[in-house]
């Protein structure tokens, strides 16, 4: 099966590289295009057998499965442009959260899915969030599930938890890398450790913690329990976190959902849902 990519920005490229590295897709199966042509050409330089498309229409003509990796407000005009070329045999996959599969189905006469990936997929790890349209065949559902299982754990989600799931899976790496950086900065500020030393230690600590969870040696609560000896140093640090974190994460989810609602409103105007 030929697989097309319309848009090869950060996430488009992550998917392309992950599919190829996991050997789920051979480079010759891919045809890609991007508004900035050099981005697509850069990917082809790394994977010589990838085909370059001059435009979105060429990608549609040459592919059965088409990943749409453009900004939310660019999706509607793109779908309108390629609609005359689409048939029920195609499957369109959007990777953006504000647009539902129902909205996609309202525009194109083809099968659709929404799959929200994560930057962690580039390490053939993490989670991919799957939502299939009402008319998406068992064939495409199985194919996409197997495709993404090659580089992640696949989790099917309903519309009502799309934003929070995306916050955890897709935005989470940015949120927690920010916190880890602040953790490192404070260590450097308050002690004689160098930034390089603290960064290496903190990075390896996170990797090791991930492996403990991956191998199910500990859960998050039991991991904390094992490290936090009663009356010890860790316990004093936990007290500070309990006192100062407060409702920080509550406010984080409130803000992301507020922005999500704004994005949905803009998208709905395009799709004539208002």
pLDDT at 273: 53
Distance CA 151, CA 136 (A): 22
Nearest to 95 by CA among 107, 113, 122: 113
Q: How far is CA 251 from CA 54, 166, 199, 254, 256, in A?
A: 44, 16, 28, 5, 9
pLDDT at 231: 78
Distance CA 271, CA 102 (A): 10
Long-range contacts of 12-16 (CB under 8 A, 24+ apart): 12/67, 12/69, 12/95, 13/39, 13/43, 14/117, 14/119, 14/121, 14/122, 15/67, 15/69, 15/95, 15/117, 15/121, 16/43, 16/47, 16/50
Average pLDDT, the chain: 95
- pLDDT 10s digits, 186-238: 999 999 999 999 999 999 999 999 999 999 999 999 998 889 877 789 999 99
Nearest to 144 by CA among 5, 7, 50, 24: 24
Q: Which residues of the chain have pLDDT under 70?
A: 273-274
């Amino acid at each position: 099966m030929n697989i097309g990519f319309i848009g090869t920005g950060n996430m488009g490229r992550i998917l392309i590289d992950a599919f190829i590295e996991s050997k789920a897709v051979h480079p010759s199966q891919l045809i890609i295009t991007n508004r900035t042509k050099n981005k697509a050409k850069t990917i082809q330089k790394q994977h010589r057998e990838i085909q370059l498309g001059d435009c979105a229409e060429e990608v549609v003509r040459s592919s059965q499965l088409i990943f749409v990796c453009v900004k939310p407000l660019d999706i509607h005009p793109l779908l309108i442009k390629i609609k005359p070329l689409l048939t029920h045999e195609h499957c369109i996959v959007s990777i953006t959260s504000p647009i539902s599969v129902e909205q996609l189905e309202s525009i194109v006469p083809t099968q659709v899915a929404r799959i929200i990936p994560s930057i962690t997929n580039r390490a053939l790890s993490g989670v991919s969030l799957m939502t299939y349209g009402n008319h998406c065949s068992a064939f495409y559902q199985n194919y996409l599930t197997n495709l993404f299982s090659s580089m992640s754990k696949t989790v099917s989600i309903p519309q009502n938890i799309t934003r929070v799931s995306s916050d955890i899976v897709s935005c989470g790496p940015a949120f927690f890398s920010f916190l880890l950086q602040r953790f490192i900065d404070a260590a450097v500020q308050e002690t004689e450790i160098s930034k390089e030393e603290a960064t290496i230690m903190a990075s390896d600590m996170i990797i090791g913690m991930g492996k403990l969870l991956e191998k199910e040696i500990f859960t998050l609560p039991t991991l904390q329990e094992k490290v936090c000896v009663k009356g010890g140093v860790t316990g004093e640090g936990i007290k500070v976190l309990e006192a100062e974190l407060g409702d920080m994460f509550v406010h984080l989810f409130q803000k992301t959902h507020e922005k999500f609602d704004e994005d949905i409103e803009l998208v709905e105007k395009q799709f004539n849902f208002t």
